[in-house]
Structure 1
Amino acid sequence: MGKPSHPLGNDGADALSLHSQHGVPSHSNLLDDDAPELQSDDLPPLYDDIAGGEPSSSAPLLGPDLTLPADPLSTDFISQFYRSPVDGVDTYITEILDKDPKLLENKVHEWAAKPPRVSVQIRGTHQRQVDRDGKKSRETVTDFDVSVDLTPFLFSDAANRLSWREVNTVDNITKTKRGTVFKCRAPGAKRGIELGLPEKPTLEEWCHRYCASSSGLKRFTLERRMTGFKHDKVEDLLEALVRRTNYHGRLSITFPVKEQYVHVYNECKTNVWRMNKWIRWFCYITFLWIFTWPYLFFRTKVFEVVSSDWPFSTTTEDLQTRYVTISEAQWYNMWGRAIHRAVLERRQCTLDQQDLATAEVPNPVWGNNNAGVDIIRAGIGAMNEINRTVGWGYDT
Structure 2
Amino acid sequence: MGKPSAAEAAADSVSLHTNPGESSMYIDDDAPELSIDDLPPTYDDAFESSEGAPMLPHQHEVAGDMVTARARPGEPGAKFITDLNTGAQSWVTKTLENPTTLEQFVRRLATVPPRPYITIVGTHSQTTKDSKGKTEKKTITDFDVSVELTPYLYSDAQYRKSWTHMRTVDNGEKARRGTVFQKRAPGSNQSIEVGNEPKPTLQEWCHRYAASHAGLKVFTLQRRMVGFDEETVKARLETMVRGTNYRGHLQVRVVTKDAQMDFYNNAKLNRWRFTTWIQWLCTLTLLFIFTWPYLYLRTKRWEVAVAEWPYSRMGEGGNKEYVSISEDQWYNMWGRAICKAVLEKRQKVLDQEDLRREAEAQATFNSGNETVDGAVGLFRAGIFAMNEVNRQLGWGGDC
> What's the TM-score bracket when you normalise by the shorter of the two chains?
0.7 to 0.9
8 Å Cα contact 1:56/1:160 also seen in 2: yes
**How far did 1:318 drift?**
3.6
Per the alignment, residue 380 of structure 2 pairs with 377
Say if 1:44 and 1:353, in contact at 8 Å, map to a contact too.
no
Label 1:353 to 1:244 Cα distance change in 2 as closer, same or farther (>3 A).
same
Q: Report the AA paired with residue 349 of structure 1.
A: K
Residues 1:35 and 2:30 aligned together: yes
5 Å-filtered alignment, 1:284-299, equals 284-299=283-298
Counterpart position of 2:325 = 326
Q: Which letter does structure 2 place at the counterpart of 1:35?
A: D
Offset at residue 303 of structure 1 (A):
0.3
| Partner-residue secondary structure (3-state), 1:171 | coil
Aligned counterpart in structure 2 of residue 392 of structure 1, from 387, 391, 395 = 395
The one of 108, 111, 122 aligned to 1:110: 108
Percent of pairs with identical residues: 48
Query: Which residue does 1:211 correspond to in 2?
Result: 210
- State how far apart, in whole Å, the 2-side matches of 1:143 and 1:59 are: 40
2:121 matched residue in structure 1: 123
Does structure 2 conserve the Cα–Cα contact (< 8 Å) formed by 1:366 and 1:374? no
State the Cα deviation string for residues 139-183 of structure 1 (Å, max 9, x = none): 111111110000000011111111100011000111100011111
Partner of 1:15: none
In 2, the alpha carbon distance for the partners of 1:264 and 1:103 equals 12
The aligned counterpart of 1:11 is: none
CA distance in 2, matches of 1:73, 1:381: 52
Flag the 1:342–1:111 CA change in 2: closer, same or farther, 3 A. same
Q: 1:147 to 1:73 in 2, by over 3 A?
A: closer
Partner of 1:162: 161
**Partners of 1:106 and 1:37 in 2: how far apart?**
42
Matches within 5 A, 1:201-280: 201-280=200-279
Unaligned runs of 5+ in 1: 7-31, 61-70
Aligned to 2:353: 354
CA distance in 2, matches of 1:136, 1:344: 29
Equivalent AA in structure 1 for residue 43 of structure 2: Y
Alignment of 1:36-185 (within 5 A): 36-38=31-33, 41-54=37-50, 56=53, 73-77=71-75, 79-98=78-97, 100-133=98-131, 134-185=133-184
- Distance, in Å, in 2 between the alignment partners of 1:137 and 1:97 is 52
Deviation of 1:35 (Å): 3.5
From the superposition, tell whether residues 195 and 258 of structure 1 become closer, same or farther in structure 2 (CA, over 3 Å): closer
Contact residue 188 and residue 195 of structure 2 kept, 8 A:
no
Q: Is the 8 A contact 1:146 1:350 kept in 2?
A: yes
| Residue correspondences, number | 357
Question: For residues 326 and 128 of structure 2, what CA distance do their matches in structure 1 show?
Answer: 45
CA contact (8 A) 1:72 1:110 kept: no
Change (3 A) 1:232 1:73: closer
Gaps of 5+ in 2: 1-22, 58-68
When the two chains are superposed, the root-mean-square deviation of aligned CA atoms in Å is 2.4
Q: Secondary structure at the match of 2:387?
A: helix
Aligned-partner Cα distance in 2 for 1:51–1:85? 21
Q: In structure 1, how many angstroms separate the alpha carbons of the residues matched to 2:230 and 2:317?
A: 23
CA contact (8 A) 1:35 1:330 kept: no
Task: Give the whole-Å Cα distance in 1 for the aligned partners of 2:318 and 2:389.
Answer: 47
Structure 1 pair 87–59 and aligned structure 2 pair: CA distance change class (3 A): closer
- Contact 1:143 1:346 (C-alpha < 8 Å) held by counterparts: yes
- SS of equivalent residue, structure 2 residue 44: helix
Question: Residues 146 and 350 of structure 2 are in contact (CA less than 8 Å); yes or no, is this contact kept in structure 1?
Answer: yes
Judge which range, 236-245 or 368-377, deviates more.
368-377
Q: Which residue of 1 aligns with 2:312?
A: 313
Deviation at 1:277, TM superposition (A): 2.3
Distance 1:381 1:239, change over 3 A: same
Q: Residues 44, 56 of structure 1: CA spacing in aligned structure 2 closer, same or farther, 3 A cutoff? A: closer
Residues 104, 153 of structure 1: CA spacing in aligned structure 2 closer, same or farther, 3 A cutoff? Answer: same
The residue type paired with residue 113 of structure 1 is: T
**Which digits, 9 at most, give the CA deviation of each residue in 1:267-309, with x for residues without a partner?**
1110011011221121122111111111101110000000110
When structure 1 is superposed on structure 2, of 165-174 and 45-54 the one drifting more is: 45-54
Distance 2:339 2:392 in 1: 16
Q: 1:240–1:363: structure 2 CA closer, same or farther, 3 Å change rule?
A: farther
**Structure 1 residue 107 displacement after superposition:** 0.4
Cα distance, 1:385 vs. partner? 1.3
CA contact (8 A) 1:73 1:107 kept: yes
CA distance in 2, matches of 1:395, 1:363: 37
Q: Which amino acid aligns with 1:156?
A: S
The AA in structure 2 aligned to 1:227 is V
CA displacement at 1:77 relative to structure 2: 2.9
Query: Is the contact between residue 316 and residue 322 of structure 1 (CA under 8 Å) also seen in structure 2?
Result: yes
Q: Deviations over 1:314-372 (max 9, x none)?
A: 11344321111111111101101111111111111111111112222316547754476
Residue 192 (structure 1) shift:
3.3
Contact 1:127/1:140, CA 8 A, preserved across alignment: yes
Which amino acid in structure 2 is aligned with residue 236 of structure 1? A
Q: Is the 8 A contact 1:176 1:305 kept in 2?
A: yes
Task: Report if aligned partners of 2:171, 2:195 keep a CA contact under 8 Å in 1.
Answer: no
Change (3 A) 1:383 1:39: closer
